Amino acid sequence: MLYQLYETQRALIEPFADFAQATAKLYTSPLLPLSQNPFSQRISAGFDLFYRLGKGYEKPAFGITSVPVQGVNVTIMERVEMDKPFCELRRFKRFSDDSQTLDKLLAQPPVLVVAPLSGHYATLLRDTVRSLLGDHKVFITDWKNARLVPMADGEFHLDDYINYVQDFIRYLQKQYGNCHVISVCQPTVPVLAAISLMASRGEKTPLSMTMMGGPIDARSSPTSVNNLATQRSFEWFENNVIYRVPDSYPGAGRRVYPGFLQYTGFVAMNPDRHASSHYDYFKDLVKGDDASAEQHRKFYDEYNAVLDMDADYYLETIQTVFQDFKLVNGTWDVRSPEGQLERVKPQDIQTTALFTVEGELDDISGAGQTRAAQDLCAQIPASSRQHLEVQGAGHYGIFSGRRWREVVYPQVRDFILSHHPQASVNRAPEDDGELASAHSTTAQVAPDLAPTKNTPAKAAPPLAKQRRRG
């Protein structure tokens, strides 16, 4: 019932939001004699703020059309490599008509970025992807909004998430011989489970896994997010945050944790900060500070865009990760697509290098939660393990903004490179065609973005000295 009430309220507010947008433009129109009057500027700013607070926010675009690769601008084209009911494997394919640049692109490592399925869209990792594209072939898990997935496509469980990740890894291995995996926040747990299960079966595992700001062991330095999960019972979550999708969407009838409830929770964590940010936006509009106003819009276009999560997946994540701590307790059994229950044993991973990254001021995944993977993966040689604590960084600072670009990314890039065999050029069959066509034609075309503050990082010494190959 709450979902229907929310949709009704949104439908009622939408015309007023559109009116506010039009009025804001009217009061700043150069055709209006009083448009430069400070009073008109304040009226316009007020209506603009009302519009921003009342409008609906759809899934943003990645908007990455080109990136520099060693001084040469390379064109980016997005395409879907695999399409599953609840997720697309999206590739950012790079094009250039410079032969030397193409040779470099073809030799670079393939990387699977596993984005969080925890409220926001994969576009939250736009800055992560843009940085990676300069030195890697980049693929990302683009999770779908559960309210858009018809009931006929079945349920989605935490086990399915893990099986999806394994399918994506196998796909890249088939294309390139092997790959590297980066997981940010929530997916660190299912990604570790996926690679552990592959190792236990004797399958080829990725060359490296980089885990950033995730709740591997949510008992360590618990945050307000962790405390909420432990203070409420499984039944409380099921009875208070799970609703059915209204008839107006393709996923009508599906049980979900709605995005608007998740957004309410995000804002409730720091209400003063958000109120202050919106007031600053109002003042920037009054002053005519277009650059600051646009920075605010970009941030909240992303932050306010949320998706519904399938109820089974969400509830199982709460129970497995934040209440029963099954991964660190060694009690986690995952059901394979064939219906077989398999125990998750990170100690079986031996040939996949491990890099863990934490933010000193992370208020979502506390200190030590991600580093716990180092103890769980005890059979990985010390020379293939490394940990980084980013001094002064909060949760978002370790994968977005200046700290990510200047402190974290260079170490992630070097870690991947040091565990990537340089002797062979990892080239998918289709890449040869791309090389030929790029030499005979000019490169195609395709938009761009990124901000934050810089503080030096405190790098915990590698668990053993890094070894470089090639």
Beta carbons within 8 Å of 257's beta carbon, 6+ residues apart: 241, 242, 308, 309, 311, 314
- Taking the domain 66-237+308-440, which CATH number applies? 3.40.50.1820
Q: What are the CA-CA distances from residue 419 to residues 83, 84, 385, 467 (Å)?
A: 29, 30, 11, 8
Instruction: Give 255 or 425, the one with higher predicted confidence.
Output: 255
- Strand 66-69 and strand 72-84: the pairing is antiparallel
CB 452 within 8 A of CB 400: yes
Beta carbons within 8 Å of 289's beta carbon, 6+ residues apart: none
- Return the number of other C-beta atoms located less than 10 Å from residue 30's C-beta: 7
State how far the Cα of 122 lies from the Cα of 237, in Å rounded to an integer.
24
Helices (H), 318-355: 326-329
State how far the Cα of 219 lies from the Cα of 300, in Å rounded to an integer.
31
DSSP string, 9-31: HHHHHHHHHHHHHHHHHHHT-TT
The structure's pTM equals 0.86
Domain ranges of the chain: 2-56+271-295, 66-237+308-440
Instruction: Give 302 or 266, the one with higher predicted confidence.
Output: 302
Name the DSSP letter for residue 96.
Answer: -
Residue position matching structure tokens 């898990």:
141
Residue 363: pLDDT band (50, 70, 90) is confident
Q: What is the mean pLDDT of residues 59-74?
A: 92
CB 416 within 8 A of CB 434: no
State how far the Cα of 156 lies from the Cα of 146, in Å rounded to an integer.
9
Residue 214: pLDDT band (50, 70, 90) is very high
pLDDT at position 433 is 38
- Segment among 182-186, 235-239, 360-364, 433-437 with least mean pLDDT: 433-437
Helix (H/G/I), strand (E/B), else coil: 51? helix
The two three-digit tokens of residue 446, written as one number: 């395709």
- Return the number of other C-beta atoms located less than 10 Å from residue 433's C-beta: 10
Residue 458 clears pLDDT 70, i.e. is over it: no
pLDDT at position 125 is 96
Where b means 16+ CB within 10 Å and e means fewer, 238-271 reads eeebbbbbbeebebeebbbbbbebbbeeeeeeee
- Strand 87-95 and strand 72-84: the pairing is antiparallel
Task: Kindly report, residue by residue over 268-318, the tens digit of the pLDDT.
Answer: 877 898 999 999 999 999 988 999 999 999 889 888 899 999 999 999 999
Helix (H/G/I), strand (E/B), else coil: 391? coil
Q: What is the mean pLDDT of residues 137-162?
A: 97
Q: What are the CA-CA distances from residue 215 to residues 46, 70, 297, 359 (Å)?
A: 40, 35, 30, 13
> For a pLDDT cut of 90, what percent of the chain falls above it?
69
Residue 426: pLDDT band (50, 70, 90) is low
State how far the Cα of 409 lies from the Cα of 136, in Å rounded to an integer.
12
* Angle, in degrees to the nearest 10, between helices 38-54 and 271-287: 140
State how far the Cα of 66 lies from the Cα of 63, in Å rounded to an integer.
9
State how far the Cα of 117 lies from the Cα of 286, in Å rounded to an integer.
37
pLDDT at position 311 is 97
pLDDT at position 223 is 87
pLDDT at position 303 is 86
Helix (H/G/I), strand (E/B), else coil: 4? helix
pLDDT at position 446 is 30
Instruction: Give 141 or 465, the one with higher predicted confidence.
Output: 141
Strand order in the sheet with 180-184: 66-69, 72-84, 87-95, 137-143, 110-114, 180-184, 208-212, 353-359, 385-390
Q: What are the CA-CA distances from residue 271 to residues 146, 259, 368, 392 (Å)?
A: 27, 18, 27, 22
The two three-digit tokens of residue 2, written as one number: 């709450």
State how far the Cα of 92 lies from the Cα of 76, in Å rounded to an integer.
6
Name the DSSP letter for residue 58.
Answer: P
Task: Kindly report, residue by residue over 9-21, the tens digit of the pLDDT.
Answer: 888 998 998 999 9
Closest alpha carbon to 115 in 131, 128, 104: 128
Residue 16: half-sphere exposure toward Cβ, Cα within 13 Å:
9
Average pLDDT across the chain, whole number: 88
Residue 93 clears pLDDT 70, i.e. is over it: yes
pLDDT at position 164 is 98
Residue 226 C-alpha from the chain's centroid: 20
- Segment among 25-29, 151-155, 357-361, 406-410 with least mean pLDDT: 25-29
pLDDT at position 39 is 81
Residue 162 clears pLDDT 90, i.e. is over it: yes
State how far the Cα of 250 lies from the Cα of 54, in Å rounded to an integer.
24
CA dihedral (294, 300, 303, 304) positive or negative:
negative
Residue position matching structure tokens 């915990």:
460
Residue 443: pLDDT band (50, 70, 90) is very low
Determine what percent of the chain falls in helix, strand and coil, rounding each to the nearest 5: 45, 15, 35
